[in-house]
Amino acid sequence: MTTPPTTTPGSLRRTGSARGPGSPARPNVTARLGFLLLGGIALLAGLDGALLLLGLAAPIDAVRLSAVHGPLMVFGFVGTVVALERAVAVRRGWAYFAPGLFGGGGIALISPLPVIVGQTALVAGSALLLAIYAEIWRKQGAVSTAVQVLGALAGLMATIFWLRGIGIPQLAPLLILYLVLTIAGERLELSRISPTVNRRAEGWMLGISLNLSFGSVVALVWPVAGYPLLGAGMLALVGWLFRHDVATRLVRSTGLPRYMAGCLLAGYGWLLVVGGIWLLQGPVYSGPAYDALMHAVFLGFVMSMIMAHAPTILPAVLRRPLPYRPVMYLPAVLLHVSLLARVLLGDTYGWPVLVQWGGVFNIVAVLLFVLIAVLSVLLPNGTGLLAAPRGTTVPSSAALRGSLL
């Protein structure tokens, strides 16, 4: 039986106990699929906007899609997925309003409705996500939860400031920390089986997270001082992950654990780019450095996390198997290779054609992974390239309480 690298007995303690007596009825699998579809629509619209920003032809040529590309991807897509997984884990009916607000906000952003409608929905979804974490903390407070709360606070601040008219480039640190700290907190919880993770290691993680949070606030009012703080904090976080995350050991295994660990470590590597830009260049609001910064974290890091955890978390959400298949390496490798061409060659050396082609293959990699995931769910046994390795089994949903990120 293949054991995913993020499934540990300790990981069951965190959110599985958040359900109390008399919990209201929760949406069924069909409703959960509906939330994922809202996130999927936001993803497709965001990718369409990405083509427009690259100066290429897109299926829908609408200026609005390019204007809301960032919030669509961060909140409409990833925010919906994060909130849905948290709602499933906390086992409270009211919690499902969070993914509904994120998904509905994404739809509003691409609709003829005023942009403020979508912005308001994203603010409400972010506030409700914090309420979900409060429920988790009430049942069992932990450093890992505190780190995720800091991430959720960054997300709420970003949505409020965007609603108030501050531009996305100025809010980039908050958008980045929203997802990076959410993931870091989850990795802390899931790395408790590591012999190096003790109270001291947890203290370092909390300290680094607080430093990043402080730096993001300083960066808004005093960028010259805030961005070096962010850069040093991000590099420290990468050091913690490479030192303590169980992925550094499981990458030497086989099958699903190795695939997941490989995606995780590749994603951590892209955070070095983010930390380096903040530390060496300070505030960047446009141009090649901004393109490299944003896509290193949201494609290289976040999408790699999604590719890593989808085979274990989607079954917990949809109660349908998503078997690991070696072909899943194809979109993961394509994502990182095309991003290397885009960032380390196109952005660094000023070759716009490589930025465009790298961006195109970034999109192809994301869509290819979605296609493989959908076909794997619909054809659980699979044939040909979609055939699962012999002896592979899918862990039961009851054993999965980690984040999709």
Per-residue pLDDT tens over the stretch 39-74: 999 999 999 999 999 999 999 999 999 999 999 999
Question: Rg of the chain over CA atoms, in angstroms?
Answer: 20
* Residue whose tokens read 């929905």: 121
| DSSP helix/strand/coil, 23 | coil
H helices of 164-198, in order, are: 168-190
Nearest to 87 by CA among 363, 405, 395, 401: 401
**DSSP-derived secondary structure letter, 59:** S
- Average the pLDDT over 316-324 and give the result: 81
Check pLDDT > 50 for residue 22. no
Phi, psi angles (nearest 5°) of residue 14: -75, -65
Q: State how far the Cα of 123 lies from the Cα of 372, in Å rounded to an integer.
A: 33
pLDDT band at 400 (very low <50, low <70, confident <90, very high): very low
Q: State how far the Cα of 328 lies from the Cα of 41, in Å rounded to an integer.
A: 22
pLDDT of residue 388: 65
Residues 6+ apart with CB under 8 A from 114: none
Alpha-carbon 398 to chain mean position: 22
pLDDT band at 166 (very low <50, low <70, confident <90, very high): very high
pLDDT band at 390 (very low <50, low <70, confident <90, very high): low
